[in-house]
């Protein structure tokens, strides 16, 4: 049985699979087509076509990533460690366009963050290391990839930088060159 919570931004869900623990460890189903599509309130009907695994050290910030064409829905969970996971609504007709929501995902809480297509996604690693798995309903197309500035002043995401030693995240060169939210909006209007 799944526990599913709707979040303030329409379409975002937190899924908590039933976990079975004993002295050997634990077991849970991270995806079961029947269980995730059977409830009328929270159906996740995406046909997932790609699974991604990401391993990172404490203080690494990945994102904010999206695809301008062929956007991806994602089901994200932390297999090991803890992350601060963020989704930004980029659906132009959404009443929450430009708003963001965050969740702590960890191997302890076993929460899964469902992010529908049309969102940018990123995360900050809070534990010494983190192993993240996420299912995608669309393939990765590098030619459509966009990276928004993780620290964009208009998005004003409240990253918990006080929880990492340096108070400054480790960001890839590609993500350091991310575009502003204002520039992202201009690009979308012109395309």
CB 73 within 8 A of CB 115: yes
Of the candidate ranges 12-16, 21-25, 123-127, 181-185, the one whose mean pLDDT is the lowest? 21-25
Domain boundaries, the chain: 48-190
CATH topology of domain 48-190: Jelly Rolls (2.60.120)
Three-class SS string for 117-134? CCEEEEEEECCCEEEEEE
From the list 36, 84, 114, 134, the catalytic residue is 134
Would you call 65 a catalytic residue per the annotation?
Answer: yes
Of the candidate ranges 10-14, 29-33, 97-101, the one whose mean pLDDT is the lowest? 29-33
CB 141 within 8 A of CB 93: no
Q: How many Cβ atoms from other residues are within 10 Å of residue 116's Cβ?
A: 20
From the list 65, 84, 101, 121, the catalytic residue is 65
pLDDT value of residue 124: 98
pTM over 0.85: yes
pLDDT value of residue 136: 97
Of the candidate ranges 15-29, 133-147, 169-183, the one whose mean pLDDT is the lowest? 15-29
pLDDT value of residue 191: 54
């Amino acid at each position: 049985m799944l526990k599913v919570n709707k979040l303030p931004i329409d379409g975002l869900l937190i899924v908590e699979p039933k976990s079975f623990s004993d002295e050997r460890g634990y077991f849970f189903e991270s995806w079961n087509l029947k269980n995730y599509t059977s409830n009328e309130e929270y159906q996740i009907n995406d046909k997932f076509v790609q699974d991604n695994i990401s391993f990172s050290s404490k203080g690494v910030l990945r994102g904010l990533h999206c695809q301008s064409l062929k956007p991806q829905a994602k089901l994200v969970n932390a297999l090991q460690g803890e992350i601060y996971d963020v989704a930004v609504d980029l659906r132009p007709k959404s009443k929450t366009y430009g708003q963001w929501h965050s969740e702590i995902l960890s191997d302890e809480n076993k929460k899964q963050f469902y992010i529908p297509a049309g969102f940018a996604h990123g995360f900050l690693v809070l534990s010494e290391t983190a192993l993240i798995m996420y299912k995608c309903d669309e393939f990765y197309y590098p030619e459509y990839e966009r990276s928004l500035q993780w620290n964009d002043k208009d998005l004003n995401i409240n990253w918990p930088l006080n929880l990492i030693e340096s108070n400054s995240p480790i960001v890839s060169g590609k993500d350091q060159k991310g575009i502003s939210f204002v520039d992202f909006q201009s690009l979308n209007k012109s395309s």
